[in-house]
Amino acid sequence: MINYSLQRILKTKRFWIVMFMMTIITITDAVQHVVLLSGISLAKNMWLNTFMASSVGGIYGHLLTIFLLGLFPVWLLLGVGFALSNDFSTGQAYNVVSRIGLAKYIRGHYYAAGIAGVILFAVPLLVNLLTVAIIQLLDVRKSDGQMRILYNRGKIPDLEKYHFLWWQLEHPVVTYFLYLGLFLIAVILTSMLMVSLSLLFNNFYQILSLVVLTTVILGSQIFNIGSLLQTFAFLLHFPDWVHNWLTFLSILLVANVVIYLWRHSGELQ
220-264 pLDDT per residue, tens: 656 567 677 777 766 667 888 888 889 889 999 999 998 888 876
> In whole numbers, what is the pLDDT of the chain averaged over residues?
78
Instruction: Give the rounded percent of residues in the chain with a pLDDT score beyond 90.
Output: 18
* 33-46 pLDDT, tens digit each: 766 655 555 555 55
Show the CA angle centred on residue 74, arms to residues 71 and 75, nearest 5°: 90
* 201-213 pLDDT, tens digit each: 877 788 888 888 8
**DSSP per-residue letters across 42-74:** --TTT-SSHHHHHHHH-STT-HHHHHHHHTHHH
In this prediction, residue 160 carries a pLDDT of 65
The DSSP call for residue 159 is G
DSSP reduced 3-state for 235: coil
- pTM of the predicted model, to two decimals? 0.84
In this prediction, residue 119 carries a pLDDT of 95
* 154-176 pLDDT, tens digit each: 555 565 667 787 788 778 788 88
Burial class (CB in 10 A: 0-12, 13-18, 19+), 119: middle
